[in-house]
Chain A
Amino acid sequence: MLAKPAVIEANSLKKDLDGMSNPISRWLSSDVGYSFRNSKTAMVAAFIAFVFIFCAVFAKWVAPYNPFDAASLELMDSLLPPAWSADGSTKYLLGTDDQGRDILSALMYGTRISLVVGMASVMLSLVVGVSLGLIAGFRGGWLDAFLMRLCDVMLSFPAILVALLIAGVGRAVFPNADDSLAFGVLIISISLTGWVQYARTVRGTTLVERNKEYVQAARVTGVAPLRIMLRHVLPNVLGPVTVLATIQVASAIITEATLSFLGVGVPPTSPSLGTLIRIGNDFLFSGEWWITIFPGLTLVLIALSVNLLGDWLRDALNPRLR
């Protein structure tokens, strides 16, 4: 990263003096914000991710139709191609599926479910992984040895396989699970593979931080170990955790889509992107490519933009690269 030009330094200082009013402008003038303003890739990726997240969150208002409202479905309009092809209708921009559902609307609702499952599993694995990593690094001893062995074992299996096996077993154990339980099993099965990364990263950083002077000082002044962990060590290990979490969101979304595609993911009543691809796959041979290709494209774009953001964040937060 290039050194900051003095002009911008002065500008940001002036802005700071202007009264720290707007948090966005304050962020833009920070170090991370500076690197954001100078990375075209990051800005484009952030824009794409923002559009998808916006459409997903406000699907109820943004989507042209409600794909789950059976009353509004018109069977006459089923299997229409996208608007720009010869048989397409401008009523349905990206075409319709076999039940006359608008693909664009189904995409927005599907993205919402994919994002919710992805973020929930990342949150869960983050909390579990960071806590275990902190404890392992801070306490050491047999607990540390055991946890790290466990991580070794988990890492020797591909994440998707572990998630698939757990989701499959969960499905067999609760054959008549209602929706919320099915979501729970899915989120747990994805996060059970994710926590390892956090635990390893946090443990590594904690081992370094533990012996630094500020922690020693806190110890000497009699601060309780739990408080040292949470108030002193934790803030210093959050950088790599943020980067990891961003990248994990993408991989969690892909894992969820894969599981749903295989039929062991979200319940069919609330289709995610993977479910939409699964449904569309049956129509591939009769030439109705749009039912499966658009959800696939959405999935790739989300994963790619989140991954690019994660890459940028890793470089921006790494002080050695500045």
Chain B
Amino acid sequence: MLAFVVQRLIQAIMVMVSVAFIAFLLFQYVGDPVLFMLGQDATADQIAALRKDLGLDQPFIVQFGHFLLNAVQGEFGISLRQGAKVSQLIADRFPATLELAVIAAGMALLLGIPMGVYAALKRGTLSSQLLMTFSLLGVSLPTFLIGILLILFFAVLLGWLPSFGRGDVVKIGWWSTGLLTAKGWQHIVLPALTLTVFQLTLIMRLVRAEMLEVLRTDYIKFARARGLSNRAIHFGHALKNTLVPVMTITGLQLGGLIAFAIITETVFQWPGMGLLFIQAVTFADVPVMAAYLCLIALIFVVINLTVDLLYFAVDPRLRVGKAGGH
């Protein structure tokens, strides 16, 4: 157990350090901050003085150390394009992305689990086959195309829902939320739906497969022999046992949601971190890119670590045997 935790922790730290190194290389090789700060007609003396001030004359490894130290404190400097502190920019955008991802994850769970259960229980009927066909479509359609199709139908042709931005937001401290206004809810429907389709189909297929597996087991037959109602068997016994893998996958997918949010946010001009990153890439805004790289890596590492440990806690078989893989 301890060895497993330590191994995972070391792996997580290695990932973080290598991502930080890539971000650091960006600073080193893209643009020259000194020229950027002083302008084109600075004298050689001025340049040398500023280089010394910024610590750019120090050895590579020392500079990397400084970078790590700053990064740990969330300090990535100032955005080249927007002139604001990067940490501030990201903090402004973070609520938008998180709200989108959480709503999408909620929709995926609330719709995916019942649909999966239905498809498993009513196997072979027309409606469940329709569900499976729909899910195949959901897996093979690229995210950005789903977004475009939704915009075409619900915003352009029907004119029901807005397809641009967040609508009205309310500030609670530094957190800006769109979930307290009617406009905000209208605006989140299409992007959240776009983001959820892939996860929804994934969860649905997973629940269906797990349900079918569990329904074949002896204890279900035994429960039937005891004369329990279908309802008790299906939801009390079968569904409960399918939920462990579902929870794990959902945890892992939360990171995927944040990643796919880049695409969704671009399609819907949703003012989140993903849009910030894409704009930073277009304008070679290195500090913002570096901060996003490190943040996304951190989110993933934390989620993976949590899921690994959670799995370990939930599944007793892992504790007994060799603690390898998941």
Contact = CB atoms under 8 A, between A and B. Distances in A.
Nearest to A308: B140
A171 B226 CA distance: 65
Given A257-B142, A261-B144, A289-B152, A169 B263 contact: no
B148 A296 contact: yes
A262 B141 contact: no
A292 interface: yes
A287 B156 contact: yes
Interface string A265-296: 00000000000010001001101010011001
B289 interface: yes
B300 A292 contact: no
B143 interface: yes
Interface in A15-33: none
A254 to B, nearest CB: 5
Interface stretch (A38-46, A71-79, A150-158, A179-187): A150-158
Contacts of A249: none
A303 B259 contact: no
Contact of B30 (A153, A173, A281, A289): A173
Contact of B281 (A157, A264, A277, A293): A264
Interface residues of A, number: 37
A164 B292 CA distance: 12
Interface in B164-190: none
A171 B284 contact: yes
B152 A293 contact: yes
Nearest to A281: B148
B43 interface: no
A258 B22 CA distance: 23
B26 interface: yes
B282 interface: yes
Nearest to B155: A285
Contacts of B255: 157-158
A98 to B, nearest CB: 17
Interface in A153-175: 153, 156-158, 160-161, 164-165, 168-169, 171-173, 175
Contact of B278 (A263, A293, A307): A263
A164 to B, nearest CB: 6
A158 B140 contact: no
A299 interface: yes
B303 to A, nearest CB: 9
Contact of A258 (B140, B144, B151): B144
A158 B262 CA distance: 12
Given A149-B11, A158-B260, A281-B148, A254 B142 contact: yes
A319 to B, nearest CB: 24
Interface in B198-243: none
Given A153-B11, A307-B140, A168 B289 contact: yes
B300 A157 contact: yes
A158 B255 CA distance: 8
B91 interface: no
Contact of A172 (B14, B140, B263, B281): B281
Contacts of B293: 165, 169
A96 to B, nearest CB: 19
A161 B142 contact: no
Interface string A184-202: 0000000000000000000
Contacts of A128: none
Contacts of A307: 140
A45 B149 CA distance: 24
A218 B183 CA distance: 72
Interface string B2-26: 0000000001001100000010001
A292 B148 contact: yes
14 contacts: A152-B11, A153-B14, A156-B304, A157-B300, A158-B260, A160-B263, A169-B26, A172-B26, A258-B144, A262-B144, A262-B263, A285-B156, A303-B140, A303-B142
Give me the 6 closest cross-chain CB pairs, A-B, nearest first: A161-B259, A168-B281, A172-B284, A158-B259, A296-B145, A254-B142
Given A258-B143, A264-B278, A285-B156, 9 more contacts: A153-B14, A153-B15, A157-B259, A169-B289, A172-B284, A173-B26, A257-B144, A262-B278, A277-B144
